[in-house]
């Protein structure tokens, strides 16, 4: 097991390197840079701008910049923001908890909504309830989450005259306010994820319900509750967990827009703001953190397989 985890981590570092390189080049291919954007209307001369660029190391070739960035990043120095001059690692550490909390809340909500509905659809296969839930979950899959976020905000403020409290407060500072602020974006992210969990749970549970060991359990005289939750659901978890691992990518992507809509100071809104002002070090580092989160979650998923299914454990 330990050997497997080490192997996966080594592989992960390789993936992260390729990913950073890709983002690095793409970012520089976008026209405009931080100096031009900052000083465009300030009347600064071209010489002054070039001098500033040289100071930031932007005058070197793309490859040269890449080498600088990677060699510093390996030492743990992610550089400073080109805009505010703050240390990137500090900014990220400040904002990371918001995104992690949002992601965890969305996943938990998605599981709470998705698995029971999936199980109900499977047990009530081809009945009215199943078809009804199918329509709902396909709807959930098709609605873009930013649209849902905007609609929710609008409807709540118009009908209930309520908007989430302004001015972000962390859970430690004020849990009540924090939950009010986080709940809506978490729901928006959870709905898309739960819709796919419903579909996966339904088909996985259905498949397991048709396997022979389920008949053995029924032949023991077990109640349907035991048959479904202790045996069918437990055996379906591998595919559901796999799905959640893969959907983490979409979830993290969704935080970019939703954090901006709901004015949450997380990594998502950070990357959104930084792209607009071409704050290269922040964008690169944030993408790196997102990538690492995705890889880490999927590593956890793979380790969980063994916990869920003893056949994988022994291999």
Partner 1 sequence: MAQNSNILLQVEEMKTVFKTRTGNLEAVDGVSFSISKGETVAIVGESGSGKSVSALSILRLLDSNGEVISGKILFNNLNLKDLSNDEIRKIRGNEIAMIFQDPMTCLDPVYTIGDQIIETIKIHEDLSKNELRERALELLKLVGLPDPESRIDAFPHQLSGGQRQRVMIAIALACRPNLIIADEPTTALDVTVQAQIMQLLKDLQAQFGTAIILVTHDLGVVAEMADKVVVVYAGQVVEQSDVKDLFNKPVHPYTEALLKSIPKIDTNKNRRLLTIKGNVPSLKEIPSGCRFHPRCPLATEKCRSEEPPLFKADNDRVSKCWIADPDLQEEWENPILIDEKEADFEINEHLVSKNMLLEVKDLKKHFPITKGILSRTVGHVKAVDGVSLNINKGEVLGLVGESGCGKSTVGRLITGLIDSTNGEVSFDGKQLSNVNRKDKKGIRKRIQFVFQDPYSSLNPRMTILDIIGEPLEVHHLAKGTTKRQRVGELLEIVGLSKEDMHKFPHQFSGGQRQRIGIARALATEPDLLICDEAVSALDVSVQAQILNLLKDLQLQLGLSYLFISHDLNVVKYISDRIAVMYLGEIVEVTDSDTLFKDPLHPYAKALISAVPVPNPNIEPERMILSGEVPSPSNPPSGCKFHTRCPFAMDICKQDKPQLRAISEDHIVSCHLYGEERGHG
CA distance readout (Å), 312 to 6, 250, 315? 18, 27, 5
Tokens of 191: 């709905």
Pick the binder of partner 1 from 13, 84, 165, 234 (CB under 8 A): 234
* Binding-site size, partner 1 (CB under 8 A): 24
Lay out the site mask for partner 1 across 180-219 (x = CB under 8 A, - = otherwise).
------------------------------xxxx-xxxxx
- Interatomic CA distance for residues 146 and 138, integer angstroms: 17
- Interatomic CA distance for residues 224 and 231, integer angstroms: 10
Name the one range near partner 1 by CB under 8 A: 109-117, 223-231, 261-269, 286-294.
223-231
Closest CB to partner 1 among residues 22, 307: 307
8 Å CB contact between 312 and 274: no
Nearest distance from residue 4's CB to partner 1, in Å?
9
Closest CB to partner 1 among residues 7, 90: 7
- Interatomic CA distance for residues 98 and 81, integer angstroms: 20
- Interatomic CA distance for residues 281 and 82, integer angstroms: 7
Nearest distance from residue 167's CB to partner 1, in Å?
48
The answer to whether residue 314 forms part of the interface with partner 1 (CB under 8 A) is yes
Nearest distance from residue 127's CB to partner 1, in Å?
11
The answer to whether residue 302 forms part of the interface with partner 1 (CB under 8 A) is no
CA distance readout (Å), 208 to 102, 124, 126, 129, 243? 33, 15, 17, 20, 17
Q: Specify the 3-state DSSP secondary structure of 264.
A: coil
Other C-beta atoms lying within 10 Å of the C-beta of residue 182: 21
Nearest distance from residue 116's CB to partner 1, in Å?
20
Pick the binder of partner 1 from 235, 247, 260, 286 (CB under 8 A): 235
What residues line the site for partner 1 (CB under 8 A)? 3, 7, 210-213, 215-223, 226, 231, 234-235, 308-311, 314
């Amino acid at each position: 097991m330990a050997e497997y985890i080490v192997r996966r981590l080594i592989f992960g570092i390789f993936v992260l390197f390729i990913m950073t390189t890709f983002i690095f080049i793409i970012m520089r291919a976008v026209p405009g840079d931080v100096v031009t954007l900052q000083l465009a209307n300030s009347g600064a001369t071209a010489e002054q701008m070039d001098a500033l660029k040289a100071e930031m190391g932007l005058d070197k070739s793309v490859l040269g910049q890449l080498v600088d960035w990677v060699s510093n990043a390996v030492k743990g120095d992610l550089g400073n923001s080109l805009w505010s001059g703050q240390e990137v690692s500090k900014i990220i550490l400040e904002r990371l908890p918001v995104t992690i909390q949002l992601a965890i809340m969305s996943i938990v909500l998605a599981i709470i909504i998705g698995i029971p509905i999936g199980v109900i659809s499977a047990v009530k296969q081809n009945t009215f309830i199943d078809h009804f839930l199918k329509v709902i979950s396909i709807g959930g899959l098709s609605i873009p989450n930013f649209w849902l976020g905007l609609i929710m905000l609008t409807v709540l403020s118009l009908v209930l005259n309520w908007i989430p409290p302004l001015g972000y407060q962390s859970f430690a500072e004020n849990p009540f306010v924090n939950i009010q602020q986080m709940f809506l974006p978490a729901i928006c992210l959870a709905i898309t994820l739960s819709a796919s969990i419903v579909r996966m749970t339904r088909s996985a549970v259905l498949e397991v319900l048709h396997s022979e060991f389920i008949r053995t359990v029924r032949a023991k005289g077990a109640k349907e509750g035991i048959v479904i939750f202790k045996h069918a659901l437990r055996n379906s978890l591998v595919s559901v967990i796999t799905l959640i691992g893969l959907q983490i990518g979409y979830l993290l992507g969704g935080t970019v827009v939703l954090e901006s809509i709901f004015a949450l100071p997380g990594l998502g809104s950070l990357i959104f703001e930084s792209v607009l002002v071409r704050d290269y070090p922040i964008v690169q580092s944030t993408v790196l953190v997102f990538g690492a989160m995705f890889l880490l979650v999927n590593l956890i998923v793979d380790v969980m397989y063994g916990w869920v299914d003893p056949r994988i454990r022994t291999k």
